[in-house]
């Protein structure tokens, strides 16, 4: 089993907690209260690595440990401790809120400056596609969009604009809806595969070492970035 750390960042009330809850519990709560501080959750997925090298590709279970942070300005000073050891960051904006993309850009900049690690996967997410008139263009099915069409809210950030930005910065990008669940599973599948690709050499070599070294064939590797939060290390 692989274990990765995720962090959700973004302006307040863009739907970070809703995305996490859609992923972890497959529920949506219309009246979710603002997050205070940060919440820690975990969820596992299975990916099917599809590399030609292996004759017999096996399913890989990936466990995500997710930091769902508060978007409020006040907690911003705490953010570094959440993203410092993250393998992936989900930067969320609200497609109906013009300035939420700017906040997302700030987060991306901060991540690139402070973390400065190419291995960090950054995923730009435009949430709340369900309440828009427009049909999102990329990767989403138009049928699932009709429910929320009565809403008067209009899209403030076009898919092209955000997509272009993501491409320039080398980010993964997707527009989703936590309310309908549209695109949510795919995010985590994408991240799982991407991280597996990045880490698989490390993973496989460790696996081999483990198999060779230990008598039992059990694989239980916590593959993650070196963590100062690791309770077993002394320097926390």
Partner 1 sequence: MNLNENYLDTEIPKKQLKPNKNGDYEGVAIVAPTSEPTTSVNMDETFFTKAPLAVTLTGDHSMSRSVSLNSLSTAYRTSTRTPSQARKPLARSKLLSADLTGSNDSIAQPTATLKRHSDPYFNWENDIRSRLAESIYSMETSVRGSEIQRRPYVSNEIPNVFKLSKLSDSSKPKDSQASYDKNFLIFTSAGKPIYCMHGKDEQIMSYTGLINTIISYFQVNGPSELKTISTYASGKRLTFLDKSPILLMAQSERGESSNELLNQLDFLYSYILSSLSERQLLRLFSKRENFDLRNYLETTDFENLNEICSLICNRMFPDLLLNSLQCLPFRHSSRVKLQNVILQQLDKRQDIPRGTLLYGLIIAPQNKLCCVLRPKGHTLHTTDLHLLFCLISHQFQNLDETQELWVPICFPKFNSSGFLYCYIKFLPNSAHNNEKSALVLISAQKDAFFSLKSFSDELITKLEGERLLKKINSAKGFKLSDIPAPMVHHFIYKSKQNVQYVMPHFEVNSNITLDSSQRLEYELKLKTYYQQLHGTVVRDNGNLLSRSILNFVKWSSKDNEDQTIDDPRMNFSELDEYVIGNSSFEQESVNMLGIAWVTPKFELYLIGNNGVVDKKVLLRSARKVANWCQKNESRLFISDGAVF
Residues 192 and 63: beta-carbon distance below 8 Å: no
Residue of 1, 26, 40, 209 that binds partner 1 (CB under 8 A): 40
If you ran DSSP here, which 8-state letter would residue 145 be given? G
| Burial classification of residue 216, based on how many CB atoms lie within 10 Å of its CB (0-12 exposed, 13-18 middle, 19 or more buried) | exposed
Contacts of 168 (CB under 8 A, 6+ apart): none
Of residues 54-73, which lie at the interface with partner 1 (CB under 8 A)?
72
Total residues contacting partner 1 by CB under 8 A comes to 26
Q: Taking contact as CB under 8 A, which single stretch among the options 30-38, 89-97, 150-158, 187-195 is the one that binds partner 1?
A: 30-38
Q: Is there binding between residue 167 and partner 1 (CB under 8 A)?
A: no
Of residues 77-106, which lie at the interface with partner 1 (CB under 8 A)?
78, 81
223 Rama sector, left if φ>0, alpha if ψ -120 to 50, beta otherwise = beta
Residue of 3, 39, 106, 210 that binds partner 1 (CB under 8 A): 39
| Burial classification of residue 6, based on how many CB atoms lie within 10 Å of its CB (0-12 exposed, 13-18 middle, 19 or more buried) | buried
- Would you say 20 or 166 has its CB closer to partner 1? 20
Q: Is there binding between residue 44 and partner 1 (CB under 8 A)?
A: no
Sheet strands (E) in 143-224: 172-175
Residue of 133, 141, 205, 228 that binds partner 1 (CB under 8 A): 228
Residues 51 and 201: beta-carbon distance below 8 Å: no
What is the smallest separation between the CB atom of 194 and partner 1, expressed in angstroms? 25
Buried b / exposed e across 158-179, counting CB within 10 Å, b at 16+?
A: ebeebbebbeeeebbbbbbbbb
What is the smallest separation between the CB atom of 41 and partner 1, expressed in angstroms? 5
Q: Is there binding between residue 24 and partner 1 (CB under 8 A)?
A: yes
Residue of 53, 212, 216, 236 that binds partner 1 (CB under 8 A): 236
Residue of 52, 74, 213, 226 that binds partner 1 (CB under 8 A): 74
Site residues (vs partner 1, CB under 8 A): 12, 24-25, 29, 33-34, 36-42, 72, 74-75, 78, 81, 227-232, 234, 236
């Amino acid at each position: 089993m692989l274990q990765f750390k995720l962090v959700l960042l973004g302006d307040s009330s863009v739907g970070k907690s809703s995305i996490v809850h859609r992923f972890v519990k497959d529920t949506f709560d219309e009246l979710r209260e603002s997050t205070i501080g940060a919440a820690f959750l975990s969820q596992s997925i299975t990916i099917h690595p599809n590399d030609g090298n292996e004759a017999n590709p096996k399913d890989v279970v990936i466990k995500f440990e997710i930091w769902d942070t508060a978007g409020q300005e006040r907690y911003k000073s705490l953010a570094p401790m959440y993203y410092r050891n993250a393998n992936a960051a989900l930067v969320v904006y609200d497609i109906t809120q013009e300035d939420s993309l700017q906040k997302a850009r700030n987060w991306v900049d901060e991540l690139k400056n402070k973390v400065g690690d190419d291995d960090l996967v950054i995923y730009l997410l435009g949430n709340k596609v369900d309440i828009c008139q427009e049909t999102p263009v990329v990767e989403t099915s138009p049928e699932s969009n009709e429910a929320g069409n009565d809403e008067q809210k209009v899209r403030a950030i076009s898919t092209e604009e955000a997509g272009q930005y993501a491409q320039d910065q080398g980010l993964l990008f997707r527009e989703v809806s936590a309310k309908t669940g549209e695109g949510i599973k795919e995010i985590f599948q994408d991240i799982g595969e991407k991280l597996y690709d990045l880490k698989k050499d490390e993973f496989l070599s460790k696996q081999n070492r483990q198999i060779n070294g230990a008598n039992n064939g059990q694989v239980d590797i916590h593959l993650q970035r070196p963590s100062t939060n690791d309770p077993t290390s002394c320097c926390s």
